[in-house]
Structure 1
């Protein structure tokens, strides 16, 4: 259930390292390997009918994509020079809280969170969280944030950044870590991931897209010795069209690493799932980098190796007290006894080294210069080995922030989503008498970093909690910014409505409320990561605070900091509630970014990255119900809603939300006009045949001699440090065991490489999937007469009627943010639809199919999913304006 973190928390001058761990037969003994296989099989029996996943072996080799071949050539040469123990050493961590010893020509690797920056570090920027970035609907800002995060990670010596997050996708509104991702739609998530990965990896840092896959709630996500993690039961089409969609886009962008989720999918744990890793990631999606576990999610040796896992993090078994591992020395033993073929070990090690070469980290990459465990300069080098650890300098306090506060503030500002502005109460005048209510308006009085990983909800909510957090260098809180902007401000730092004395009709009350969530590592105010106690309501009786203020004041502005959607019905229609702003999770720049909007220095231009419903039950039980109790059996989380999450479900059931996905008001008005559509490429029902795989390195190798597995004579081992070496006796016994015994391989196991999935052929899938099918342009004009502003242009696809596939009424397919337009100014925006955009996943053909070639697709254009005033037809290539949308 609870996890320690996703990031690496190693001491030394690193965070997590590439004295990485190794595989074994399946643990300390072959018997434990058999037990793991049997347990996995037993778990399958609990899964509902219809969610079977076929076995898929062997793990496809990497290196056949042209863009990666040079890196693989270098990596293969490096790995070819390593001993067996050195190869297994770079496939796993050396243990939780451990550093690593430099033993081969491949350096230590530092792996570190957070998806919003550099975790547990000084002199860094606490960027806005993913959900805030998604609310900008701005590709350029997504990219700029990625560039800044990449620069800061590089400056701190982080080789592998554990982000971006696109799983959870936001299926469950109460899910604890939805805020780490970009919103409740596969395309919004995919674009956020793609732009972030591009920005990060252009700085030479390996990005890690996570968590693959079906990690849609926090409680019961982890296996432990007494309880199986829940099984996310997902049908094939839903898996491809919704949950895997953003991962495919990230792989298409060249991401260097993928992190597997803790949970199971269709009965099998993700970290040892041959279909997910071998078939989907490495074959169909053509993934060339390396696949890692989440922290302490590794639970088998041979089973996970042959299923396609490349790296075990942080190296320990699930209870990391004694320095045990399913890999490292066990993987060395598994190679000597023949359980894990040498080509699999060589491929895994080469994938890791290839990603390192691909990002240019072999030349001039900074050494890790910070310590995630301490802010002191001088610390134990191996904290888990205390009291026997040597000490040394582990923190160098390197500043890496540069001017990244500017991009952080811009994102926070442009994400602010104006839901309501009755009577044009906004923007405010500095001369108005403002009375501000709510503890969320001011920074935590105990200190902005007083709660580890932000595991409390005190003061301004700028981040969720858990491994997705960044320590604040400072927090520009709202009340400081408001008092600096306005002439007459009274602040009531309380969440219970106080006595306020006489109130005039012109007084304006600004009420701050929030809703928090995070990782199941912590329980905060009764919420176990997910919002299981608070539900979709404001914390600290925030709804009552708004109601009480509304009974006293005639003019109420509500400011919401939140991890996701809230139910606003207790007060949203009260006459006094004139304006509502969602500021999401702004990170360190919560103040000026807000006052720039409140006081009209900038027009709000954020849009909701999820729907806000009138009641929780507007969504199906399959997404509103959290798994909150289970005994021994594996909890089952079956995706019976299929493709229909968020606005797709609401539209299908004709349920009007309070505020729709994509909704967001401005201080000005925009008109969309002069739309056009043209066909760019002629489509066929199925893509052209995939290109064949390019050549791959020769990973074949006979079993090495025992000498390659033995520690150097006289080497002084660190207690609890995980090594890849065997004793001479264990090495000899492993070779002997290989002659007399055989590992119980699962049904379908083979070592013969497959030519490749029909739907594959390149990174992300068949390259033809990204052929542009249609290009659209639309003219946007600021028709207001006072304020400049930016418009969000959103394109939703409606599949033709009469096809053999059930499809959502509309699905987001592209979006663009305009430049800032002055009153009267116009600009032209281009939107595109690819072959994949107009396809469905054909479960029989196992390929993407255009169900109506040149058929009557409709492309709806507007500024929200329920505000679509233009429709373009793919059959006639004509567009209509001023129409009524489909929902």
Structure 2
């Protein structure tokens, strides 16, 4: 989400008529074959066994609510109208509280006494599922400790299709399986603390610029994605998140195949709630709702922060829902059963995470650091009170934060085993990225500047540092002879000796389109994949002066390196990604051999940006038209594209060196489930308890303003004046509503469901383990140091099938729990599910195994281009010491 930055950040101009009946102007045509088909009605929740108890409780509570009470918990109370970045209405009469929704993916945003964890991209680079879970659990504990009901994360969309994409760093890497497994572990960790995780952004939010419906200027771009690509890439991590029980999903700002994400019935009703059997709630991104009735019918459950724009004037207490949703239910435009389902989904998520018992209320403010302040900062006149209790929730979470930062560090180059360094060598450090921001570690709102060390990108995915352990301070604690040049321009330096070591710190930043930083509008549109602040020249000049240069890169994603990577004096290169508060010792312990690097690239680093398909470039068209961002590359992004074209990257996806000397032996494969071409039939879809709720239009009196109610200006309420409620009821009770329902609309619930569908993630058979693969990894006895080893499993489909498939695709990964000392071994196990060996068949609309008895090759190794082990599914044999397919 974002806070508005002037009118530029406000969407929702393209509305006509009253909010309750608003429709979009006719949209620009999308390319042939990409139209979003209508899918109605919204399937009821509550039919999955793992949510049944929560729905039973929720239905009981909702059955006691009035119309206004139901409506009140399906929207926020307004931007800046509470302590949190989002605050829902409540039902005090029945004990249902206002719910607090809070950013962001790497820590509790805009408050203090918290931990600023490493970003998602760093987390993905660890390739350590257990550690990812621990990070999630620590984040969840902090959100609970602050009284936040919802953690607005993790982010798995953007998937990383566009290397310049502004928010790629909030996710875990440019591969759907890496995103899926890291997202799933994060969800489990967070929700094990009783906090509702919010998987985002569904779907196609791969570019920041032009993502929103701008006030009178620009429609949001349309991400045009074909059916197979949608399932096999962009929906994949969401499916795994749903399978893990995520309680909430956030729709994206942009359109998908021409239909805005927050009212896209095919995505929300069809794919998410029917095919994936999602039982939780769907919310908008902030200020992304662009219609009232249409979004309700399309499957939206929660409008955040509740405000929309009326009469082109923002933030004046205008909403497409709240009182307008009440009106729409009374006049028959929105069926009562849709409201029942919306409300029940919100309440069920609350019960599902156990928040009905001893859950703390918010004890912080997103709006001020002061102890006391206005309770409703967005109001013209607001009562005041205590808004910050300064509760410290850090516990010992700096330990897991440091471990993530350290295990993410990816050693790309280490000529002559130059690293680790000796503390006796004189050290000369260059680049402002080595130090904390001299103007203050939190001096830029939401990290909207690249000044000093780059520990996180900018925007709503950032958090305040409680402190920052910067590299230069850590180096000075470790090494007696350190000279630091706090400049990004190479200075005049004394003639170095052959033993002197130069460490050059450089960076590349990105973030949310709510801010423009050094002419980059969220995406890296100005700087591209080059280093910021003249970083390439700084490295080149250091390499011309010193014989021993180490490059440390803090970056949101891939950067090109060709101007310096092969220079003889550039002995070592490390990518430290975005390390958060623990940037110092986590790095220097690797530099000096106290820990071995064990990170692996969560994306490819190309030789040139032109190595990517042209279709993944940033897109723009003239004002007032809808930008068409067509995913014509299909399945072929990142390493999939490079492998298909035979283009060798500078460093491949999954690449990462170690001070240890790992080898793989004793590989084996075992069949677990016999595969058929088509999965077993999905289980029958049982009746939902939501259907038992009263679906008749309630009395108008349920919507009347309470007598003598003291209103807060701009606070959003669900009630209507009695004359307006009566007028709406008169229309609804006589069935004379004339709302222009969208094509294909029906209010009759579908029986059964799509063949690929099922509860919590899709057909349960898709998650059956088909094969397990194990291999022994050994650190050579002659290795200088120990280290943690990673095994990555890539599937190569049989060559004689009728589907075009990438050369290899990541399907699982594992990491040793402890560092392996020289001579030590460990066995790593990987698994492949039915879905891992399937393709999405657009004709049958199902996952199919194209060759159940055919030869799938499972390549195992330490990187996508280093897979010395292959196991075959037809013979159940493995070979070791082979050359991989790329």
Q: Give the TM bin, normalised by the shorter chain.
A: over 0.9
Which residue is 2:869 aligned to? 870
1:813 aligns with 2:805: no
**Cα deviation code 1:785-815 (max 9, x no counterpart):** 3201011100000000111100000000000
Match of 1:797 in 2: 795
TM-score if structure 1 supplies the norm length? Answer: 0.96
Q: Deviations over 1:515-555 (max 9, x none)?
A: 00000000000100000000000000000000010110000
Q: Per-residue deviation at 1:305?
A: 0.2
SS, match of residue 449 in structure 2: coil
In the alignment, what sits opposite 2:101? 111
Structure 1 position 540 matched with structure 2 position 530: no
Aligned residue in 1 for 2:239: 248
Alignment match, 2:778: 781
Give, in whole Å, the separation in 2 of the partners of 1:54 and 1:527: 35
Deviation at residue 840 of structure 1 after TM alignment: 0.2
Say whether residues 1:674 and 2:670 are aligned partners.
Answer: no
Match among 170, 174, 178 for residue 188 of structure 1: 178
Alpha-carbon separation, structure 1, partners of 2:641 and 2:91: 55
**Which residue of structure 2 lines up, in the alignment, with residue 761 of structure 1?**
758
**CA–CA separation in structure 2 for the residues paired with 1:814 and 1:321:** 46
Cα deviation per residue 1:662-704 (whole Å; 9 max; x = unaligned)? 0000011101011000110000111101001123112341100
Corresponding residue of 1:291: 282
Tell me which residue corresponds to 2:625.
633
Within the candidate set 457, 467, 471, 2:460 is matched to 467
Deviations 1:104-131 (A, max 9, x none): 3210100001100111111000000000
Q: Distance in 2 between matches of 1:48 and 1:88?
A: 38
Q: Which moved more, 1:782-791 or 1:772-781?
A: 782-791
1:741 and 2:740 aligned: no
Out of 148, 154, 161, the position equivalent to 2:151 is 161
- Secondary structure of 1:512's match? strand
Distance in 2 between the 1:638 and 1:33 partners?
Answer: 32
Query: Alpha-carbon deviations, 1:400-438, whole Å to 9, x = none?
Result: 000000000000001000000012211011111000000
**1: distance between equivalents of 2:180 and 2:622?**
33
CA contact (8 A) 1:347 1:699 kept: no
Match of 2:32 among 36, 49, 52: 49
Q: Provide the rounded CA distance (Å) in 1 between the counterparts of 2:40 and 2:760.
A: 20
Superposition pairs of residues 127-166 of structure 1, within 5 angstroms: 127-166=117-156
Q: Give, in whole Å, the separation in 1 of the partners of 2:329 and 2:693.
A: 14
- Partners of 1:362 and 1:498 lie apart in 2 by 61
Decide whether the 8 Å contact of 1:207 with 1:255 is kept in 2: yes
In structure 2, what is the Cα distance between the partners aligned to 1:829 and 1:610?
Answer: 23
In structure 1, C-alpha distance between the alignment counterparts of 2:622 and 2:350, rounded to whole Å:
42
After TM superposition, give the deviation of residue 741 of structure 1 in Å: 3.0
Residue by residue over 1:253-295, the C-alpha shift from the partner in whole angstroms, topping out at 9 and shown as x without a partner, is 0000000000000000000000000000000000000000000
SS in 1 for 2:404: helix
In the TM superposition, what are the counterparts of 1:134-283 in structure 2 within 5 Å? 134-226=124-216, 227-283=218-274
Alpha-carbon displacement from aligned partner over 1:318-355 (angstroms, at most 9, x marks no partner): 46321100000000000000000000000000000000
**Contact persistence 1:519–1:530 (CA under 8 A):** yes
Residue by residue over 1:211-248, the C-alpha shift from the partner in whole angstroms, topping out at 9 and shown as x without a partner, is 00000010000002321100000000000000000000
Aligned residue number for residue 642 of structure 2 = 650
- Give me the whole-angstrom Cα distance separating, in 2, the residues matched to 1:195 and 1:700: 38
Q: C-alpha displacement at 1:737, in angstroms? A: 2.8
| Residue equivalent to 2:884 | 885
Distance in 1, matches of 2:673 and 2:882, equals: 27
Contact 2:16 2:22 in 1 (8 A): no
Q: How does 1:510-529 map to 2 (within 5 A)?
A: 510-529=503-522
Please tell me whether the aligned partners of residues 69 and 90 of structure 2 are also in contact (alpha carbons under 8 angstroms).
Answer: no
1:244-643 to 2 correspondence within 5 Å? Answer: 244-318=235-309, 320-386=314-380, 388-623=381-616, 625-643=617-635
Q: Name the SS for the 2:851 alignment partner.
A: coil
Alpha-carbon distance between aligned partners in 1 of 2:287 and 2:37, rounded to the nearest angstrom: 26
- Residue by residue, what CA displacement relative to the aligned partner does 1:480-529 show, whole Å, maximum 9, x if unpaired? 00010112100000000001112111110000000000000000001000
Q: 1:264, 1:628 → 2: CA distance? A: 14
Q: 1:736, CA displacement in angstroms?
A: 2.3
Whether the aligned pair in 1 keeps the contact of 2:652 and 2:863 (CA below 8 Å) is yes
Could you tell me how far apart the structure 2 residues matched to 1:362 and 1:133 are? 31
Q: Work out whether 1:36 is the aligned partner of 2:23.
A: yes
Residue aligning to 1:14: none
What's the offset of the Cα at 1:852?
A: 0.2
**Cα distance, 1:103 vs. partner?**
4.5
- Distance between the aligned counterparts of 2:566 and 2:339, measured in 1? 62
Count of matched residue pairs: 861
Q: Secondary structure at the match of 1:541?
A: helix
Q: How far apart are the structure 1 equivalents of 2:712 and 2:771? A: 61
> Retained in 1: the 8 A contact 2:16–2:23?
no
* Deviation of 1:732 (Å): 1.0
**Equivalent pair of 1:5/1:466 in contact (CA under 8 Å):** no
Q: Cα offset for 1:29? A: 4.4
| 1:628 Cα deviation from its structure 2 partner | 4.1
> For 1:273 and 1:459, how far apart are their aligned partners in 2?
42
Residue of structure 1 equivalent to 2:851? 852
Q: Deviations over 1:47-75 (max 9, x none)?
A: 00011222100000000001111100111
- Is the CA contact (8 Å cut-off) linking 2:179 and 2:237 kept in structure 1? yes
**CA distance in structure 2 between the partners assigned to 1:103 and 1:144 by the alignment:** 35
Distance 2:153 2:4 in 1: 13
Deviation at 1:630, TM superposition (A): 2.7
Aligned pairs for 1:693-732 (under 5 A) are: 693-697=685-689, 698-732=692-726
The alpha-carbon deviation at position 3 of structure 1 amounts to: 4.5
**Residues 96, 320 of structure 1: 8 Å contact kept:** no
Kindly state the Cα deviation for residue 162 of structure 1 after the two structures are TM-superposed: 0.3
CA distance in 1, matches of 2:784, 2:421: 14
Structure 1: runs of 5 or more not aligned:
7-23
How big is each residue's C-alpha offset from its partner over 1:345-398, in whole Å with a ceiling of 9 and x where there is no partner? 000000000000000000000111000011111010011113x10100010000
Structure 1 stretches (4+) deviating beyond 6 angstroms? none
Matched-pair contact (CA < 8 Å) for 2:191–2:197:
yes
| SS in structure 1 of the partner of residue 68 of structure 2 | helix
Does residue 681 of structure 2 align to residue 683 of structure 1? no
Counterpart Cα distance in 2 of 1:357 and 1:472: 33
Q: What TM-score comes out, normalization by structure 2 length?
A: 0.96
**Matched position secondary structure for 2:482:** strand
The structural deviation recorded for 1:735 is 1.5
Name structure 2 gaps, 5 residues minimum. 6-11
Once the 2 structures are TM-superposed, how far is the Cα of residue 773 of structure 1 from its aligned partner? 0.5
Q: Distance in 2 between matches of 1:493 and 1:433?
A: 17
Matched, 1:4 2:29: no
Provide the C-alpha distance between the structure 1 equivalents of 2:153 and 2:551, rounded to a whole number of angstroms.
Answer: 32
After superposition, give the CA deviation of every residue in 1:825-858 in whole Å (9 maximum; x if it has no partner): 0111111000000000011111100000121110
CA distance in 2, matches of 1:800, 1:265: 32
What secondary structure, in the 3-state scheme, does the structure 2 residue paired with 1:384 have? coil
Post-superposition CA distance 1:160-183 (Å, at most 9, x none): 110000000000000000000000
